[in-house]
Amino acid sequence: MSEPILDVKNLKVHFDIRPSGAMPWTKSRKLKAVDGVDFKLFPGETLGIVGESGCGKSTLARAVIRMIPAADGTVVMFGRDVLGMGKRELQDVRKSFQMIFQDPLASLNPRMTIGEIIAEPLLTHFPKTPKAEAQARVREMMEKVGLLPNLVNRYPHEFSGGQCQRIGIARALVLRPKLIICDEPVSALDVSIQAQVVNLLKDLQAEMGLSLIFIAHDLSVVKHISDRVMVLYLGRAAEVAPAAEIYANPRHPYTQALISAVPIPDPHRTQEPELLAGDLPSPLDPPSGCVFRTRCRKAQAHCAEVRPELEGPEEGHQVACHYPD
């Protein structure tokens, strides 16, 4: 197997939280948004990351590319230690990865034309690029994502949500990166448009040899695009496995509950969705031992005492549970 382009080990992101209106001497509390996550990403692969709101999906992605600081861990990207880089070295490696954001319209500058938005990363990293070359690259990317090049001088408010997301994809691709992080890129779109954007990403991945990290709530979307899936719960990985295997044989109770809730267009479906008890615990005060035990149907006394670690083959089916199915 080829070497991973991204190797993340024991990544932690902690925030110091002080209550609103508290006195300056009030001691802050530690919010563990990401609490020791390991994963690898290989060339041409798509890793899907799923979990409830507040489980740390977006925080994890932003920490990997140093949009927010990590408290601990290592991130090796293209053989280079990202967390230990200086500003100049980080600026150089940032040419190799880009990000697609959740809200397609809010991620675009309303005062810039579409051509200026798509060209911005190119001119930021290569400011001496001739104007004619930059314009040609912009038009090439617009055609790749299904936008007419004659729309280059229009503004974001003149486009639909799906078109704005295509603009965001073109902006991410203009540098021809090796890695794209998709932070819930279809959650704000209609179902039919979601399918178009996901299929577009798959086609572009095959054409340009991209590696993707795809974050989403919708497990059916993740199944369609991912090679492997990582399920996060309260800042920790609950299960990691090849996509086909994790959907056919989920072993963690949390993964089983998520998959049971996926809508299936079958009027004769007999399996009822499994409803989890209670709400997601606060990361300010997580449960002892297994963080999922307060909502788990299989929890026992041992679960409150010992935190389970991911077990299983490194590139196979891994699960963090004392009593997996």
Per-residue confidence (pLDDT) for residue 261, from 0 to 100: 78
Q: What pTM, to 2 d.p., does this model score?
A: 0.91
Residue 11 lies in a domain: no
Percent of the chain with pLDDT over 70: 97
Residue 107 lies in a domain: no
Q: What average pLDDT does range 124-133 have in this prediction?
A: 93
Residue 293 lies in a domain: yes
Residue 49 lies in a domain: no
Taking the chain, what is the end-to-end CA distance rounded to the nearest angstrom? 29
The Cα 51–Cα 45 span in angstroms is 20
* Average pLDDT over all residues of the chain: 90
Residue 100 lies in a domain: no
Per-residue pLDDT band for 111 (boundaries 50, 70, 90) equals very high
Find tokens 């590696």 and name the residue.
Answer: 211
Number of domains in the chain: 1
Per-residue confidence (pLDDT) for residue 267, from 0 to 100: 66
Residue 292 lies in a domain: yes
Domain that holds residue 309: 253-262+271-325
Residue 192 lies in a domain: no
Tens of pLDDT, residue by residue over 152-167, are 999 999 999 889 999 9
Residue 277 lies in a domain: yes
Kindly give the pairing relationship between strand 72-77 and strand 29-41.
Answer: unpaired
Burial classification of residue 285, based on how many CB atoms lie within 10 Å of its CB (0-12 exposed, 13-18 middle, 19 or more buried) = exposed
